[in-house]
């Protein structure tokens, strides 16, 4: 099997070219054969009249011995034409002196012609003296003498000259086909070599790419052809790989930093407690380390969640969800946390309806937004949750009166481990993964999260997702949720 594209193209091109030229040769052969045979048959038909006239003249003059002399056909003409005269019983009366085809066969044709009374015309392989059989085109025709006597005149036209001409034609065409195929193959191979040269160069350039050299780009060819589009696509893929590798390196560095900082602190506290040997100090260190361990476990669980999400292994248990009930549940659970921090915590719902989703993941999304708002809102501030429905979408918004987020940080808030205020976020127990998880959940529900913030005036995070299809009103949406739960 031919493995290279170049070889396969050359093979199929050669096959099609050879087939086309062979078909053309066959058409030319049969056309030439028809033309040559038609010309000989026309000549033979003319000779029938001449031979008939010569025979009748010979009968009147009594010169029966030499039909060649009567017809004036001595010499080379005998190579192609054979004449013979038979009576109605097939008995040979007169024939040429040239080597004639089998008289028995011609006698049979003559008798058949006399019996039918119709002219006979057919091709026959007739043996000749000292030669192999040769094809003759035989014309047999019944004629009448002036005295009423009937006879059969046969003219046998040798096909030898036609065959010689056709053999020359076939040999010439074979030479032409061979030369044409060779030239076509040479031209094709040259063209393919030139056409594949950019691909070979592209392969060599691609081989040089490594994880450390993804900032390089493949050179674009000067032509705006398929190779140009391929290089553009490969450069786009390399750019995506570069971003992916950069994100992976950044993720590894951030994760290492997030793990190293608390572990280093825990190690230092334990070493200090061991040196002091105080039981109260030991208890305080254990309590502090337990708190850090809980935070590390929470971070590792979030990392595992994001890892499964990246691998498409995280699945949603999609069912109709009554948004108002879900928001109410999360609000009640988080009221205590807001109260301990001295934050005014309010909820306003305007018949948000229902959506198709995973209730536990939607609660996690809302909780991450609320937790983020409560962490960054100072005591005496306000956190407000609103739910509504607009233009076929469910809207959930969490607003706070915290310090706000500068515009240059808003575009990166949903990146993993990113913190607008890293020191304060770590002090409050955050690890920079909550918003990343919230956005993944939002997009898994065919929605998204947007942020609107202004320094000194607080922030608003809004989750938008398609409302439950087929539920035109909030009442219908709640009915669909109830039916799904009872069903």
CATH of 319-486, one of 3.90.1150.10, 3.30.70.920, 3.30.565.10, 2.60.120.1060: 3.30.565.10
Determine the 3-state secondary structure of 133 from DSSP.
strand
279 SS3 class: helix
Burial 100-118 (b: 16+ CB within 10 A, else e): bbbbebbbebbbebbeeee
Q: In this structure, are residues 361 and 305 in contact, taking their beta carbons and an 8 Å threshold?
A: no
% pLDDT > 70, the chain: 82
In this structure, the number of other CB atoms found within 10 A of the CB of residue 321 comes to 26
Question: 121 forms bridges with which residues in the sheet?
Answer: 139
Residue 331 pLDDT > 90: yes
Looking at residue 2, its pLDDT comes to 65
Locus of tokens 């006879």? 151
- Where are the CATH 3.30.450.20 domain residues in the chain? 5-167
Question: Do 287 and 321 touch, CB atoms closer than 8 A?
Answer: no
Q: In this model, does residue 208 exceed pLDDT 60? A: yes
Cα 150 from chain centre:
80
Q: Which residue has the higher pLDDT, 224 or 384?
A: 384
The answer to whether residues 202 and 179 touch, using CB atoms and an 8 Å cutoff, is no
CATH number of 5-167: 3.30.450.20
51: buried, middle or exposed (CB in 10 Å: 19+, 13-18, 0-12)?
A: buried
**Helix 474-486 / helix 323-340 crossing angle, nearest 10 deg:** 90
Contacts 24+ apart (CB under 8 A), 96-105: 96/67, 96/68, 97/66, 97/67, 97/68, 98/68, 99/128, 99/129, 99/130, 99/131, 100/128, 100/156, 101/126, 101/127, 101/128, 101/134, 101/136, 101/156, 102/126, 102/127, 102/128
pLDDT in tens, 25-64: 889 888 888 888 788 777 777 777 777 777 777 676 665 5
Query: Does an H or E element contain 395, and which?
Result: strand 393-400
**Stronger pLDDT, 143 or 393, i.e. the higher one:** 393
What's the fold here for domain 226-310?
Answer: Helix Hairpins (1.10.287)
Of all residues in the chain, the percent with pLDDT exceeding 90 is: 15
Query: Could you give the residue range(s) of every CATH 3.30.565.10 domain in the chain?
Result: 319-486
Beta-carbon contacts of residue 217 (< 8 Å; ≥ 6 apart): 235, 238, 239
Q: What are the structure tokens assigned to 333, written together?
A: 């659970």
How many residues belong to the chain? 487
Q: Where are the alpha helices (DSSP H) in 62-150?
A: 67-71, 103-116
Question: Residue 387: in which H helix or E strand, if any?
Answer: strand 382-390
Decide which of 260 and 425 is more confident: 260
Is 60 exceeded by the pLDDT of residue 158?
A: yes
Please say whether the beta carbons of 405 and 411 come within 8 A. no
Asked whether the predicted pLDDT for residue 264 surpasses 90, the reply is: no
Residue 99 phi, psi dihedral angles, 5° rounding: -55, 120
pLDDT at 374 over 60: yes
Q: What is the mean pLDDT of residues 279-286?
A: 78
Residues of the chain with CATH 1.10.287.130: 226-310
DSSP string, 41-52: HHHHHHHHHHHH
Cα–Cα nearest to 127, from 153, 161, 99, 150: 99
Spatial separation of the C-alpha atoms in residues 404 and 420, rounded to whole Å: 10
Give 155's pLDDT tier (boundaries 50, 70, 90): confident
- In this prediction, residue 75 carries a pLDDT of 36
């Amino acid at each position: 099997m031919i493995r290279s594209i170049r070889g396969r193209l050359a093979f199929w091109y050669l096959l099609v070219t050879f087939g086309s030229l062979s078909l053309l040769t066959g058409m030319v052969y049969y056309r030439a054969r028809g033309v040559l045979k038609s010309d000989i048959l026309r000549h033979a038909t003319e000779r029938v009249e001449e031979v008939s006239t010569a025979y009748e003249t010979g009968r009147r003059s009594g010169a029966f011995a030499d039909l060649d002399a009567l017809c004036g056909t001595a010499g080379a003409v005998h190579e192609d034409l054979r004449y013979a005269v038979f009576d109605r019983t097939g008995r040979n009366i007169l024939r040429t002196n040239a080597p004639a085809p089998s008289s028995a066969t011609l006698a049979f044709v003559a008798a058949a012609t006399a019996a039918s009374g119709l002219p006979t015309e057919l091709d026959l392989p007739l043996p000749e003296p000292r030669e192999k059989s040769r094809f003759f085109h035989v014309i047999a025709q019944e004629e009448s003498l002036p005295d009423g006597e009937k006879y059969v005149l046969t003219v046998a036209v040798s096909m030898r000259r036609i065959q010689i001409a056709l053999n020359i034609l076939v040999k010439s065409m074979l030479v032409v086909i061979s030369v044409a195929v060779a030239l076509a193959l040479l031209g094709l191979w040259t063209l393919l070599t030139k056409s594949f040269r950019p691909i070979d160069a592209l392969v060599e350039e691609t081989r040089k790419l490594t994880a450390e050299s993804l900032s390089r780009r493949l050179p674009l060819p000067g032509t705006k052809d398929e190779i140009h589009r391929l290089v553009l696509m490969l450069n786009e893929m390399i750019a995506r790989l570069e971003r992916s590798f950069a994100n992976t390196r950044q993720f590894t560095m951030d994760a290492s930093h997030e793990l190293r900082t608390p572990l280093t602190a825990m190690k230092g506290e334990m070493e200090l407690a061991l040196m002091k040997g105080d039981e109260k100090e030991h208890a305080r260190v254990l309590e502090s380390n337990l708190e850090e361990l809980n935070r590390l476990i929470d971070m590792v669980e979030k990392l595992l969640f994001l890892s499964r999400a990246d691998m498409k292994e995280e699945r949603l248990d999609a069912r109709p969800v009554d948004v108002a009930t879900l928001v109410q549940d999360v609000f009640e659970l988080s009221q205590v946390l807001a109260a301990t921090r001295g934050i005014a915590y309010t909820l306003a719902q305007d018949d948000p309806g229902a959506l198709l989703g995973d209730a536990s993941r939607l609660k996690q999304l809302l909780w991450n937004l609320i937790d983020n708002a409560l962490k960054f809102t100072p005591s005496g501030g306000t956190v407000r949750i609103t739910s509504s429905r607009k233009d076929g979408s469910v809207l959930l918004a969490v607003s706070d009166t915290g310090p706000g987020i500068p515009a240059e940080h808003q575009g990166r808030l949903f990146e993993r481990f990113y913190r607008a205020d890293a020191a304060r976020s770590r002090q409050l127990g955050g690890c920079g993964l909550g918003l990343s998880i919230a956005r993944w959940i939002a997009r898994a529900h065919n929605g998204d999260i947007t942020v609107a913030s202004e320094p000194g005036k607080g922030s608003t995070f809004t989750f938008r997702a398609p409302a439950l299809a087929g539920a035109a009103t909030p009442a219908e949406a709640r009915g669909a949720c109830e039916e799904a739960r009872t069903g």
